[in-house]
Amino acid sequence: LPKQDSNRQVIELIDRYKDQSGIIYCFSRRQVDDVSAYLGSKGYSVRPYHAGLEDADRRRNQEAFIRDDVQIIVATIAFGMGINKPNVRFVIHHDLPKSIEGYYQEIGRAGRDGLPAHCVLLYSYADVSKLNYFIGQKEGDEKRVAIEHLNAIVRYAEDEHNCRRKPLLNYFGETYTDKNCSNCDNCNSAPTPLTDITVPAQKFLSCVKRADEKFGAGHIVDILLGSKNEKVLRWGHDKLSTHGIGGELTRKQWMHLARQLLSMGYLKQEGEYHTLSLTNKALETLRKRESIFGVMQEAERIKKADGKKKAAELEYHRGLFAILRQKRKDMADEAGIPPYVIFPDRTLMEMAAYFPQSQESLLKISGVGQVKARQYGEAFLEVIREFSASHEINEKPRESHRDKSDSGRRYVLVGELYNGGETVQSLMARYQVTTQTILDHLARFAMAGNTLRRGSDLEGLTSVSGEQTQAVFAVFDDIGTAMLKPVFDKMEGMLSYDDLKVLRLLYLSANQE
pLDDT at position 303, please?
33
Taking the CB of residue 215, how many other CB atoms lie within 10 A of it? Answer: 21
Q: What is the CATH number of the domain that holds 70?
A: 3.40.50.300
Residue 189 domain-assigned?
no
- Whether residue 372 sits in one domain with residue 437: no
- Whether residue 106 sits in one domain with residue 11: yes
Distance, in Å, from the CA atom of 11 to the CA atom of 4, rounded to the nearest integer, reads 13
Tell me: pLDDT of 117 over 90: no
- Whether residue 121 sits in one domain with residue 213: no
Highest average pLDDT, of 18-22, 111-115, 166-170, 201-205, comes from 201-205
- Whether residue 116 sits in one domain with residue 30: yes
Structural domain harbouring 347:
311-391
Distance, in Å, from the CA atom of 222 to the CA atom of 233, rounded to the nearest integer, reads 11
The verdict on pTM exceeding 0.85 is: no
Please provide the average confidence, as pLDDT, over all residues in the chain: 83
Residue 506 domain-assigned?
yes
pLDDT at position 449, please?
65
pLDDT digits (tens, 9 = 90+) for 425-477: 888 887 778 888 889 888 888 877 677 887 778 888 888 888 888 888 888 87
pLDDT digits (tens, 9 = 90+) for 339-393: 667 887 678 888 999 999 999 889 888 777 777 888 899 999 999 999 999 988 8
Distance, in Å, from the CA atom of 255 to the CA atom of 136, rounded to the nearest integer, reads 17
- Whether residue 114 sits in one domain with residue 31: yes
Tell me: pLDDT of 176 over 80: no
**Where is average pLDDT lowest: 164-168, 310-314, 439-443?**
310-314
pLDDT at position 307, please?
33
Choosing from 129, 160, 183, the residue where a domain stops is 129
More confident residue, 229 or 416: 229
Q: Classify burial at 266, counting beta carbons within 10 Å of its beta carbon; exposed 0-12, middle 13-18, buried 19 or more.
A: buried
More confident residue, 414 or 481: 414
% of the chain with per-residue pLDDT over 90: 26
Residue 163 domain-assigned?
no
**Where is average pLDDT lowest: 3-12, 57-66, 132-141, 311-320?**
311-320
Contacts of 289 (CB under 8 A, 6+ apart): none
Tell me: pLDDT of 257 over 50: yes
Residue 498 domain-assigned?
yes
Choosing from 326, 358, 391, the residue where a domain stops is 391
% of the chain with per-residue pLDDT over 70: 89
Distance, in Å, from the CA atom of 431 to the CA atom of 64, rounded to the nearest integer, reads 44
Task: With CA atoms as reference, report the closest residue to 34 among 46, 22, 16, 20.
Answer: 46
- Whether residue 332 sits in one domain with residue 282: no
pLDDT at position 402, please?
44
Residue 150 domain-assigned?
no
C-alpha R_g of the chain: 25
pLDDT at position 399, please?
54
- Whether residue 125 sits in one domain with residue 11: yes
Distance, in Å, from the CA atom of 454 to the CA atom of 104, rounded to the nearest integer, reads 50
Tell me: pLDDT of 208 over 90: yes
Number of domains in the chain: 4
Query: Can you say whether the dihedral through the CA atoms of 176, 178, 179, 184 is positive or negative?
Result: negative
Q: What is the CATH number of the domain that holds 376?
A: 1.10.150.80
Tell me: pLDDT of 301 over 50: no
- Whether residue 357 sits in one domain with residue 277: no
Contact 27, 493 (CB under 8 A): yes
Residue 399 domain-assigned?
no
Residue 318 domain-assigned?
yes
Q: What is the CATH number of the domain that holds 281?
A: 1.10.10.10
Tell me: pLDDT of 401 over 70: no
- What value does the mean pLDDT take over residues 2-26? 88
Distance, in Å, from the CA atom of 436 to the CA atom of 443, rounded to the nearest integer, reads 10
pLDDT at position 80, please?
61
Choosing from 294, 327, 348, the residue where a domain stops is 294
pLDDT digits (tens, 9 = 90+) for 67-109: 888 999 999 876 665 566 788 889 999 999 999 888 988 998 8
Residue 305 domain-assigned?
no
Contacts of 505 (CB under 8 A, 6+ apart): 439, 442, 443, 446, 452, 458
pLDDT at position 236, please?
94
Work out the pLDDT band at 408, boundaries 50, 70, 90. very low
Work out the pLDDT band at 283, boundaries 50, 70, 90. very high
pLDDT at position 119, please?
94
pLDDT at position 490, please?
81
Taking the CB of residue 53, how many other CB atoms lie within 10 A of it? Answer: 18
Buried b (16+ CB within 10 A) or exposed e, 430-468: eeeeeeebbbbbbbbbbbbbbebeebeebeebbebeeeb
Q: What is the CATH number of the domain that holds 431?
A: 1.10.10.1390
